[in-house]
Every structure is written in structure tokens, then in C-alpha cells.
Structure 1
Amino acid sequence: MREELARAYGQAGDSTPARGGLKNLWDLYQQGFHICNVHFGRIRTTECLFCEAFWDREREGGR
């Protein structure tokens, strides 16, 4: 459904997690913050398996 809406609004083919609320989470993650439910909002000092698992689920399209 997201892909159909994106096509309808001329934004087809965007496979990055940069749509809607995901863009905000992606921006926070890129700024060095946790986006996982375990440590949300805390500063990341290393890679986080929980945050990575969140992005893996989003790429697969699952929730």
C-alpha cells in the first residue's frame, strides 16, 4: 500500500527507510541516538543490536 501511495504522489521506488515517521527515526539514528524500544533516545556509543533489528524488520516490510 505504501508503494502504491508513493507512486500516486510521484515518489515511487524509494526503498530507504526515509518515509514519514521512519525518516525522523532514521535522522535520530544517524545523529547517534538509539531508536530501539530498549534504549530509545539515549546516545549510542557503539552499534546496537536492537536498533539494527528494527531496521532489518523495516527493510523486510514486517512489523
Structure 2
Amino acid sequence: MPQHAPTARICRDCDGFPTVAITTGTRHTDGTRATLRITCPTCKGTGHATPAALVRAGR
């Protein structure tokens, strides 16, 4: 019988890419591009989603 790998819970908002670098369009004095590092606010930079049972709902 084939073995199935367990599916990892990947964040729905970032698709597993929790940190990205966005260029601002400007350059530093040495010629390199100025970038901003942004992390996913949903998974807080882990790339994994929390199971629905652990998410607190309501007040």
C-alpha cells in the first residue's frame, strides 16, 4: 500500500512564504536596492496555520 505524507497546515494568507522583501524603488548610495522585510500578520512569520480547534472565537 502507498504511504501518504501528512499534510502540513500552511497559512492561507501567505501560502507558506511568511517573510517577503519588497523593493521601494529607491537605491542606496552603493547602488543596492532599498527593501522592506514584511512578515505575514496572520501566522506571525511561521508559515503554518493554527488548527481551528485552537483558535479562540467569540469574546
Fold similarity call, TM over 0.5 = no
Give the structure with the larger strand fraction: 2
Larger CA Rg, structure 1 vs 2: 2
State the TM-score, normalizing by the size of structure 1. Answer: 0.26
State the TM-score, normalizing by the size of structure 2. Answer: 0.26
